[in-house]
Amino acid sequence: MIVRITSKFGAVDAVHKTPHTGVGLAIPEGTSLRALGNGVVFRVFDGTNNIGKGLSIRFEDGTRAIYGHMSEVKARIGEHVNAGEIIGLSGNTGNSTGPHLHLGMKGADGSWLDPTPLAQNLGNINWWDGPLTQFKWWLGEKFTEITFNGVVDWIADIAMALPVLAVIGGSVYALINMFSSRAATWGAIATVIYGLFIVRL
């Protein structure tokens, strides 16, 4: 599974006035979050600061992973956690523009590290709750993309695809019409609708 990065390490933008100390990961609210390695819970954030609710885990090599914007923390300070163990739920707390996970990384000396390689390996851990959660999140992202972020592009793509879909739909109609005119009509309509959906995948 590929986790989409919405905000890169070191980014300076409208949200981050100073270089971003971690990465933002598009993860649906309420998703079970798991420890990325064996370690001890070093700190728990109560939700009163920018990072919202979250926690920091110190791994066996001295590095620390910071999880932020969680909706619920299920581990306590000093608790030992194993890789893959559930430590809480993702959320949208603190200074957040939408449901996502802030993932930060500190070296043993306390310096900020780029957690991008760690984020890209999240697919190796049973991170998601299941296929249904993934589908609901994908569907929600597509809805947002079409209705808010990509209306112009969506219309342009459809305009370009319609002539091709019309030809394909006509061919389907002609083929099925040899057996049933009613089925041919519905077959052509279904072909065009399916084609329009595929355009924005």
List pLDDT tens digits, range 146-183: 554 556 566 666 677 777 778 888 888 888 888 888 88
pLDDT at residue 6, rounded to an integer: 83
Rounded distance between C-alpha atoms, residue 184 and residue 186, angstroms: 6
- Per residue in 31-48, pLDDT (tens digit) is 888 888 899 999 999 988
Question: Which segments of the chain are extended strands (E)?
Answer: 5-7, 22-25, 32-34, 39-46, 53-59, 64-73, 80-81, 86-90, 101-106, 112-113
Domain ranges of the chain: 5-127, 150-199
Helix (H, G, I), strand (E, B) or coil at 175: helix
Q: Which CATH superfamily is domain 5-127 in?
A: Glucose Permease (Domain IIA) (2.70.70.10)
The tens digit of pLDDT for each residue in 46-103 reads: 988 889 999 999 999 999 999 999 999 999 999 999 988 899 999 999 988 888 899 9
pLDDT for 107-148, tens place per residue?
A: 999 999 998 887 766 655 544 444 445 555 555 555 555 554
